[in-house]
Amino acid sequence: MKSSFCYWIVNAHLLGYQGRQQLALDELGKILAIMPMDGARSVLQSSVDVAGDWLSLGGLDLQINGALGLAFPDLGPDKALLLEEVAAFLWAQGVDAFLPTIVTTAVGNIHRALDCIACFKPQGHQPIAQILGAHLEGPFLNAQKRGAHPEAYLQPLTLERLKQVLGSYAPWVKVMTLAPELDESGEAIAYLRTQNITVSLGHSNATAAQAQAAFARGATMVTHAFNAMPSLHHREPGLLGVAALAPGVWCGAIADGQHVAPQMLQWLIRATNPGELFLVSDALAPLGLPDGRYPWDSRQIEVTRGTARLPDGTLSGTTLPLLEGVKNLVKWGICDPETAIASATETPRQALGLPGLGVGQSARQLLRWRLASDSKTLTWQRLWTGDSFPVSATRSIAGATP
């Protein structure tokens, strides 16, 4: 073996691999090779034995509205330090990267928030979750399916209005949620694709035919499946019925037990093409804060046991971290641990065209997942918690070298 192999992680289950694997790392923690456990290892190299636990990259949250009291539509020059605190908090929650989600609001607020994201430069030295760009959830939503989005700021979906909302910030917008039935010409989706913005369908009354047309034009995602869209019907499958069967369309879902019944999530996992369902937190600004009443734009939300509602009872989001959804899928017994872990780590990366776990990635991002003996309790921890390889958990191993 090459002398650049400094450390090994052994006896690991990796998503998408058969049997236990071993990972060779360089001195900086970069993965240099992945091979089955029956492969050769260098002699007397330090290793961490994870005893058959799963390893994955950290989570990727494609829809998160805020945390620690910060709502992302309120971002501005005075919120940069708080945004960094949020990014550090999310890293501690097992999230590698996220898309700050800006819900329907005034265009000036959208531009101010996007400018803050575009100019964000961390000042500290603590590990933080990376900001990949923004998710604009609105303002081009169907008023009948707006949910908690304020109707006063909804806009008609025209190419002119779309360009006004994006302004000069298109490079920092990674995902936009829209209702495709608002633009029968299809110009909006076509334009967004020229800007390399992923189009997600949601807050929509789209028929099956309208959804099919949108996917044909380049939409590749669905925002919080089941929520803010028509229910499945045997004569009109609607947006979700078409999305579940369409290859290359990824469906986001909230696994908090409130937004979607576990049985329906189980149906969606089985109905979608393998690896095309991903979890989001849809977490609001009180994420990381106790239950209680909090301001939300010009209104208030009441958070009870992690579920947020408006005063009229309208469901507005959660305050549960992304990886709680992974644990819920296993606890509810609706899928195996590998599928559950992938839904928050690998699948959202695939939905954005990003690389998953493999050679070239940093082991500093790795999460270690352990399934308890009851087969329903899944826990995780970051494998790498300091500035150097966790030598306190290592041992020297001898292996044959060819």
CATH code, 32? 2.30.40.10
Q: What is the mean pLDDT of residues 115-130?
A: 93
Quote the pTM value.
0.93
**Could you tell me if 85 and 49 lie in one domain?**
no
* Confidence band for 265, pLDDT divided at 50, 70 and 90: very high
Is there a contact between 113 and 77 (Cβ–Cβ < 8 Å)?
A: no
**Could you tell me if 163 and 260 lie in one domain?**
yes
**Could you tell me if 174 and 125 lie in one domain?**
yes
Q: What is the mean pLDDT of residues 262-285?
A: 94
pLDDT for res 400: 29
pLDDT for res 395: 43
Examine residue 41 and state whether it is found in any structural domain, yes or no.
yes
Domain residues for the domain of 366 are 7-56+360-397
Examine residue 249 and state whether it is found in any structural domain, yes or no.
yes
Examine residue 2 and state whether it is found in any structural domain, yes or no.
no
Q: How confident is the model over 27-73, as pLDDT tens digits?
A: 888 999 999 998 666 544 678 899 999 999 999 999 999 999 999 99
What's the token pair of residue 304? 């009870």
pLDDT for res 196: 97
Sign of CA dihedral 283, 85, 107, 166: negative
Examine residue 79 and state whether it is found in any structural domain, yes or no.
yes
Letter for the amino acid at 148? A
**Could you tell me if 42 and 184 lie in one domain?**
no
CATH of the domain at 268: 3.20.20.140
Question: Which of 47-61, 113-127, 258-272, 381-395 has the lowest average pLDDT?
Answer: 381-395
pLDDT for res 4: 63
Is there a contact between 320 and 281 (Cβ–Cβ < 8 Å)?
A: yes
Please list the residues that pair with 199 across neighbouring strands. 176
Which of 351, 371, 388 terminates a domain? The answer is 351
* Confidence band for 313, pLDDT divided at 50, 70 and 90: confident
What's the token pair of residue 236? 């009109």
**Could you tell me if 152 and 116 lie in one domain?**
yes
**Could you tell me if 224 and 281 lie in one domain?**
yes
**Could you tell me if 38 and 67 lie in one domain?**
no
**Could you tell me if 30 and 86 lie in one domain?**
no
**Could you tell me if 238 and 305 lie in one domain?**
yes
Q: How confident is the model over 327-356, as pLDDT tens digits?
A: 999 999 999 999 999 999 999 999 999 999
C-alpha–C-alpha distance, residues 188 and 265, integer Å = 30
**Could you tell me if 41 and 137 lie in one domain?**
no
**Could you tell me if 99 and 24 lie in one domain?**
no
Which residues participate in catalysis according to the annotation?
Answer: 282
pLDDT(162) > 90: yes
Residue 95 sits at φ, ψ, to 5 deg, of: -100, 125
Examine residue 402 and state whether it is found in any structural domain, yes or no.
no
Examine residue 300 and state whether it is found in any structural domain, yes or no.
yes
Examine residue 75 and state whether it is found in any structural domain, yes or no.
yes
pLDDT(199) > 90: yes
pLDDT for res 2: 46
Asked whether the bond before 321 is cis by omega within 30 degrees of 0, the reply is no
**Could you tell me if 33 and 99 lie in one domain?**
no
pLDDT for res 340: 97
For a pLDDT cut of 90, what percent of the chain falls above it? Answer: 77
pLDDT for res 387: 57
Q: What is the mean pLDDT of residues 276-304?
A: 91
Examine residue 367 and state whether it is found in any structural domain, yes or no.
yes
Residues 228, 229, 234: CA angle, nearest 5 degrees = 150
Q: What is the mean pLDDT of residues 14-26?
A: 93
C-alpha–C-alpha distance, residues 170 and 321, integer Å = 28
pLDDT(14) > 80: yes
Average per-residue pLDDT for the chain: 91
What residues contact residue 235 under an 8 Å CB cut-off, 6+ apart? none
Q: How confident is the model over 164-183, as pLDDT tens digits?
A: 999 999 999 999 999 999 99
- Number of domains composing the chain: 2
